[in-house]
Chains A and B, each alone.
Chain A
Amino acid sequence: MGAGATARAIEAVWRIESARLIAGLARVVRDVGLAEDLAQDALVVALEKWPESGVPDNPGAWLMATAKRKGIDLLRRDVMLDRKHAEMAHALEQRQESAPDDDDVDGVQDDLLRLVFTTCHPVLSTEARVALTLRLVGGLTTAEIARAFLVPEPTVGQRVSRAKRTLATANVPFEVPTGAELAPRLASVLDVVYLVFNEGYSATAGEDWMRPALCEDALRLGRVLAQLMPREPEVHGLVALMEVSASRTHARTAPDGSPVLLADQDRSRWDPMLVRRGLAALERAEQLGGALGPYALQAGIAACHARARTAEETDWERIVAFYDALAQLAPSPVVELNRAVAVSMAYGPAEGLALVDQLIDAPALRGYHLLPAARADLLAKLGRTDEAQEDLARAASLTRNVRERTLLLERARRLAGPHGSALG
């Protein structure tokens, strides 16, 4: 194997092993930042040795043993050798002598779960949670995260190191929250994953309408969570929402890279495997019982679209019912706006427009381009072309996504044309 091939193989091993490695180390040293440093040290040794020796048969165990050795060295060398460090060094030695970690599947899973709750801890800013989770749980490099979010690499590096310091300073325990704390903390974890997915699904900035690799990263994280917390319906709800949404990836981008609206998508291009996986995940969420949470409700809506063979077959009344439940559970102007659109589809554009008009002054929607975009659609259907064009122009001036802006202006132009039809 050439040096380049070995480097790529090491990168692949890292992606597969790093989360388990860091999680296992964090349990012993009780510091996620230190655990990652030790794991990185082991990676450096691998990069030195493996090109000569080849990738070992059990690279995960090799990395773990090397990281522990590094940890013992570091803690012994530490001039501040206090009791805490002595205890950690002892614990690392104990772990080194005990049975291989691979045998303790449940233990590894528990450590991973602790890691996820730590990287999504509320003491961190949202940006820090995202960066730390992708890096420590998703196995992404700082460079990959920077590319995905279109920010300079040093910015991500700083975000990660600051986040690790914050966790250490705040003495955030390496544990899974229990009791009343669990629900809000779980919601925070799911929000981080969904935020990653959404940035990939409809990029808030930049040239590309979608960044599918980021969607895949989020999907993978979501599936990992579903395995870690199989009894939590909302985790399955989130996975269902992401799988069904991702099934439309190829259909929602036109050959020139511009977005295609749901109603105009060629449904034969929806990925049937992801649809099937999404519907199965939704079924799991429903079978676990209890009222559906916000992600499961959104997945229910996505599933209504997935089940309709044509846009006309969509069960809009059922979608309105899902939005009603969602508006009760997680009231937000954005949900109200979507509900208004669903109402217009189920009961006519005039009913929808009445609801949209109630939202125009909502402070949270000021600057939200989808409000004038949706309003324009309804106005156009009602034959109020001039007003529709005005709203499309307003929507175009509000979006930061280049592809979306082009699409909105194109719709406005088509309304103006001699053969302008109500729906673009």
Chain B
Amino acid sequence: MRFMMIVKATADSEAGAMPTTEELTAMGAYNEELAKAGVLLAGEGLHPSSKGARVVFSGDSRTVLDGPFAETKELIAGFWLIQAKSLQEAVEWAKRCPNPMRTESQIEVRQVFDADDFGDDLTPELREQEDRLRAETAQRQG
């Protein structure tokens, strides 16, 4: 199973404050711990939302909103993708993270969808339809 550990933004991270050498060292050690345990799949830090944009969908219309965005605590500042056997294991890994921010902050742990997660609700016919859609999308993109 895969889980995403999502680091939520803070006023500091949104202001573009860079981590100190000490903070970088601690985070580097944590990344190494994840890698040494064989669970780390990917991880990235994100620029503040002032450098980002949103595309808003409503029917056929597409509206682009430039950052920054107001609801700081709901924004994402970075993430790890890890392999774990259970939510509890992923949570245990998250607890081992050094404080990701200088002020109070959060890491949200979410399970990544897998075709198997749909269980019996996803009938072979539905799966086939989903696969076909994926293939068509891929063709359009390719």
Q: Do A and B come from one complex?
A: yes
**Alpha-carbon distance between A13 and B92 when the two chains are bound, in angstroms:** 7
A12, A15, A109, A273: most-surrounded residue (chain B CB, <10 A)? A12
Docked-complex contact B88 and A220, CB < 8 angstroms: no
- Contacts A220-B39, A269-B131, A273-B41 given: A8-B88 contact, CB under 8 Å? yes
The interface size of chain A toward B, counting residues with CB under 8 Å, comes to 30
In-complex Cβ contact of A256 among B81, B84, B91, B124 (8 A)? B124
Docked-complex contact B38 and A12, CB < 8 angstroms: no
Tell me how far the C-beta of A59 lies from the nearest C-beta in chain B, rounded to whole angstroms: 8
**Alpha-carbon distance between A16 and B92 when the two chains are bound, in angstroms:** 8
Docked-complex contact A224 and B92, CB < 8 angstroms: no
B46 within 8 A of A: no
- Contacts A12-B92, A269-B134 given: A227-B115 contact, CB under 8 Å? no
**Alpha-carbon distance between A12 and B1 when the two chains are bound, in angstroms:** 14
Docked-complex contact A12 and B37, CB < 8 angstroms: no
Chain A interface (Cβ within 8 Å of chain B)? 5, 8-9, 11-13, 15-16, 59, 109, 212-213, 216, 219-224, 227-228, 250, 255-256, 266, 268-269, 273, 277, 309
**Alpha-carbon distance between A13 and B89 when the two chains are bound, in angstroms:** 7
Docked-complex contact B91 and A221, CB < 8 angstroms: no
- Contacts A16-B89, A16-B92, A255-B127 given: A266-B135 contact, CB under 8 Å? yes
Docked-complex contact A223 and B89, CB < 8 angstroms: no
Chain A residue numbers with a CB within 8 Å of B36 are: 109, 224, 227-228
Known: A9-B92, A219-B38, A273-B42. 16 other contacts (CB 8 A): A9-B88, A11-B88, A15-B89, A16-B37, A16-B92, A59-B92, A213-B85, A216-B83, A221-B38, A223-B40, A227-B35, A228-B36, A250-B115, A255-B125, A256-B124, A268-B139
In-complex Cβ contact of A223 among B38, B116, B127, B134 (8 A)? B38
Chain B residue numbers with a CB within 8 Å of A228 are: 36
B99 within 8 A of A: no
Chain A residue numbers with a CB within 8 Å of B92 are: 9, 12-13, 16, 59
Q: Which of B1-38 contact A (CB under 8 A)?
A: 1, 35-38
Q: Which of B95-117 contact A (CB under 8 A)?
A: 115-116
Tell me how far the C-beta of A148 lies from the nearest C-beta in chain B, rounded to whole angstroms: 12
B80 within 8 A of A: no
Q: Which of B57-90 contact A (CB under 8 A)?
A: 81, 83-86, 88-89
**Alpha-carbon distance between A59 and B127 when the two chains are bound, in angstroms:** 42
Tell me how far the C-beta of B62 lies from the nearest C-beta in chain A, rounded to whole angstroms: 25
Tell me how far the C-beta of A186 lies from the nearest C-beta in chain B, rounded to whole angstroms: 17
B93, B131, B139: most-surrounded residue (chain A CB, <10 A)? B131
Tell me how far the C-beta of B142 lies from the nearest C-beta in chain A, rounded to whole angstroms: 8
In-complex Cβ contact of B88 among A12, A216, A222, A273 (8 A)? A12
Chain B residue numbers with a CB within 8 Å of A309 are: 142
Chain B residue numbers with a CB within 8 Å of A221 are: 38
Tell me how far the C-beta of B127 lies from the nearest C-beta in chain A, rounded to whole angstroms: 4
Chain A residue numbers with a CB within 8 Å of B40 are: 223
Docked-complex contact B134 and A268, CB < 8 angstroms: yes
Chain B residue numbers with a CB within 8 Å of A9 are: 88, 91-92
B55 within 8 A of A: no
Chain A residue numbers with a CB within 8 Å of B56 are: none
What are 24 A-B residue pairs whose CB atoms fall within 8 Å in the complex?
Answer: A8-B88, A9-B91, A9-B92, A11-B86, A12-B85, A13-B92, A16-B92, A213-B85, A219-B38, A220-B39, A220-B83, A223-B39, A223-B40, A224-B38, A228-B36, A255-B127, A268-B134, A268-B135, A268-B139, A268-B142, A273-B41, A273-B42, A273-B81, A309-B142
